[in-house]
Amino acid sequence: MIEKVYLDNAATTRVDPNVVVVMTDCLRKNYGNPSSIHSFGRKSRALIEKSRRKIASLINASPSEIYFTSGGTEADNMALRGAVRDAGVQNIITSKIEHPAVLNTAINLQKQGLISLHYVKLDDDGQVDILNLEFLLKKYKNTLVSLMHANNEIGNLLPIDKVSKVCNKHGALFHSDTVQTLAHLPIDVKQNPVDFIVCSAHKFHGPKGVGFLYVNNKINITPLIHGGSQEKNMRGGTEYVYGIVGLAKAMEIAFSKMSLHHEHILKLKKHMILKLNKLLPKVKFNGLSGELSKSLYTVLSLSIPKFNNSDLLLFNLDLFGVACSGGSACSSGSSKLSHVISEISTKEENVVVRFSFSKYNTIEEIDYVVDKLKYLVG
């Protein structure tokens, strides 16, 4: 009998048991400070560098291009602020539906008078207008383009190959927030040249509080966090050794079983779409999340016409044991639509729900959730 269903994997994921094993083993045996020159320190240092080499190999990067961070937000800040401070960037082109880690950082840089900020046009589904991007790049020089690989709310996929080519053509730097896609989709930084990509381990069954920034070797930036000489003088502070080990293990598992996980999760998403269309035909899918070939397979965002007690939908789903999220400013308890949904829709009367899947979900769980949703919506 199903009692709990976790469908909020775009927010965070359950840690893989194999990751727990390597992390706890590291905690027990490797307590030396990686900066110490004695054998205990050298052993911890070796684990960090082994993890760095493993991660680099999975995205076809050089180990010297990987810098460990506390997660995606720090990595995004490190990239944007470093590009402005050290790489001569005077203009940032982004979109109005980026993650706050990018959007608010860019706005802050503009408020400080360090850059001019420009927004690329989006179509009604939230897709980037490539022709408008090229127009902006022709108009503004010394530019950084920052566009996320997959939107965390609606799952829209960026044609990263096209954007990469356009940026290269106009001599612009390209940063992509890859938090939602790294370890879910294959990423090759040589095949699709990017200057910065970011990672957060807890999005693919790794630990919270650890991630990395990839910086193309042709770019030199200075630290965001000053202190010691850790991370090749790029990030002061004692390294999160067992977190880094967990990150590398989670990434190794995700890449080795990517095709298998993709097939399984895509089947779940397809099943949910078909069942929703049958039982709740008035439900619409936000952005391109309902189009399997144009959206991230782990995310499905719904717009549901308002009904009695619709403001309590997430609360009532939680009472049924279903964990999901809304497209709203839920941290403040507000029912206001999120900046992403507001940008692509003016239908304030709709209730927005995001379901996001993982390798641990089952068809039976999807059936349970849709049945409970049908019961609540009517």
CA distance 342 to 351: 12
Q: pLDDT tens, 220-279?
A: 999 999 999 999 999 999 999 999 999 999 999 999 999 999 999 999 999 999 999 999
Is 0.75 topped by the overall pTM?
yes
The Cα 156–Cα 43 span in angstroms is 42
* 26 is known as an active-site residue: no
Domain boundaries, the chain: 5-14+257-377, 17-256
Chain-centroid distance, C-alpha 172: 22
CB 320 within 8 A of CB 6: no
Query: Hey, what are 239's tokens?
Result: 């390294």
What CATH code would you report for 5-14+257-377?
A: 3.90.1150.10
**Catalytic residue chosen out of the listed positions 26, 167, 199, 330:** 330
- Same fold: 5-14+257-377 with 17-256: no
Q: Are 52 and 215 in contact (CB under 8 A)?
A: no
pLDDT tens digits, 5-53: 999 999 999 999 999 999 999 999 999 999 999 999 999 999 999 999 9
Q: How far apart are CA 355 and CA 289, in angstroms?
A: 10
Tokens of 158: 């960026």
- The fold for domain 17-256 equals Aspartate Aminotransferase; domain 2 (3.40.640)
> What count of other Cβ atoms lies within 10 Å of the Cβ of residue 43?
17
Q: From CA 306, how far away is CA 81, in angstroms rounded? A: 42
Question: Are 295 and 155 spatial neighbours (Cβ–Cβ below 8 Å)?
Answer: yes
